[in-house]
Amino acid sequence: MTSTLTPGAPQTAGAPQTAGAPSAGEGAEPTAGQVARRRWRASRGVVAVVLALVVIAVILAALRPESSWQNLDPQSASPGGSRALAEILRQRGTPVAVSRSAGDAAERATATSVTVITRSERLTDSDIDRLRRIPGDLVLVAPSRRVLTGLAPGVQVASSSFEDTDAPDCTLQAAVLAGNVDFGQSDTYEVPPGATACYRVEGLPRLVQVRLDGARTVTVLGSSRPFTNEYLDDEGNAALAMNLAGARASVVWLIPDLPDPGSASGDRTLGDLVPFGVKLFFLQLVLAVVAVAVWRARRLGPVVAEALPVVVRSAETVEGRARLYRAHHARDRAADALRAGARDRLVPLLGLPRSAAQDPNAAREIVTAVAQRVRAAGAGAPPGAAQTGTFSTGPDGRLLYDEATIGAALYGPEPADDAGLVWLSDVLDDLERQVRQS
């Protein structure tokens, strides 16, 4: 296989050399590699910034606590749900009422109930107001800052911790009984004086109990993990959750639905919410853009118009004629032109007067003369090679024409088809070359 390809080998070997030569030259077109390197140098800063942004986004997304709409739902059996806890509470004789709105929870709450408030980020300000007035104890599971300030006065989010297990280290009965608890990621709090603080990390507690009006207690838990199905059986999680939620006669479990759009605080538009200073900031930005536009819009001097020269290619008429010939398949005219041109060039070679070229009476003479010269050129060709309308190949590989073919080429009728015209042009070229060489 390879041996049959060897004739082509020098060509392929030569190709890289010729292709490589221009690239070696000074000031030549840059190679693809050079272009790529230049573009890389120009854009690597942007690429680095984009990559850094992607990495940061991925890290943030990974660190963000996973949250699903089912989390802490006492009717959900998913890992993040709290059905297990609710079932255990019911089995232990503590009824659990599930509320989906703050109003409903406020109605159900009694002086002997514990209201567990989960997913508190969904509560609106008016909900928080209403919850502040309900009787009984409150347990806030991983509350938002708004809820914290509204319902547990004096308790503030201090930081967050990732330490899992810890001893309670406090006097709160529920915590002491539960012992070690797995918190996972948890908020830590700053506590007011007089509050009970448990499970400290670096001095900041993750469980806080505040006493309000003497009798009511508000318990704040920094992590929702002890309440979830998945982690309920870890360490003392179940005990802590049951001690906190089941401390009284009944449980009202508030897991608020998302508030209806616009239901919260009515008809405040975006404009009302944006501070006046920010509006002025944007107005000033617009004015600054106008100032920049005025700066850029002012030209340094006029635009200069100039009459441009006419650009007409001189060969346009000839090219147009060629296209017309082609569009109309004007083989007759094209063949006439080619033949006349060939005769014009042949006649001086044959030693005939120039006027003979376009003289129909000289046709015979020209054809005979051409045939003689062609035969002389193809010396050694058998005279019998002359066949009507065809031509054969001489011993040296060149085409041999008989008089009839030469006559047809120089004076014949219009070619029957396009292939005939192309053939005619080739034959005329060949005749001319052979006559020149003879």
Contact positions vs another protein (CB under 8 A): 275-278, 280-285, 287-289, 291-292, 294-295, 298, 300-302, 304, 306, 309-319, 321-323, 325-326, 333-335, 337-338, 340-341, 344, 418, 421-422, 425-426, 429
Could you tell me which residues come within 8 angstroms of residue 96 by beta carbon, excluding any fewer than 6 positions away?
Answer: 74, 86, 89, 90, 250, 251, 253
Q: How far is the CB of 338 from another protein (least distance, A)?
A: 5
Find the helix packing angle between 83-91 and 237-245, rounded to 10°.
60
Q: What is the CA radius of gyration of the chain?
A: 50
Q: How far is the CB of 357 from another protein (least distance, A)?
A: 10
Instruction: Say whether 69 sits in a helix, a strand or coil.
Output: coil
CB 398 within 8 A of CB 376: no
Pick 61 or 300: Cβ nearer another protein = 300
Pick 177 or 288: Cβ nearer another protein = 288
Q: How far is the CB of 279 from another protein (least distance, A)?
A: 8
Token pair for 6: 């060897």
Pick 69 or 282: Cβ nearer another protein = 282
Positive or negative, the Cα torsion across 189, 70, 250, 229? negative
- Phi then psi for residue 212, to 5 deg, are -115, 145
Residue tagged 């004739």 (tokens): 7
Pick 233 or 319: Cβ nearer another protein = 319
Q: How far is the CB of 313 from another protein (least distance, A)?
A: 5
Pick 122 or 345: Cβ nearer another protein = 345
Question: What is the residue type of 343?
Answer: R
Q: How far is the CB of 429 from another protein (least distance, A)?
A: 7
Pick from 195, 115, 204: nearest CA to 157: 204
Q: How far is the CB of 303 from another protein (least distance, A)?
A: 9
DSSP string for 125-136:
HHHHHHHHT--S
Pick 36 or 287: Cβ nearer another protein = 287
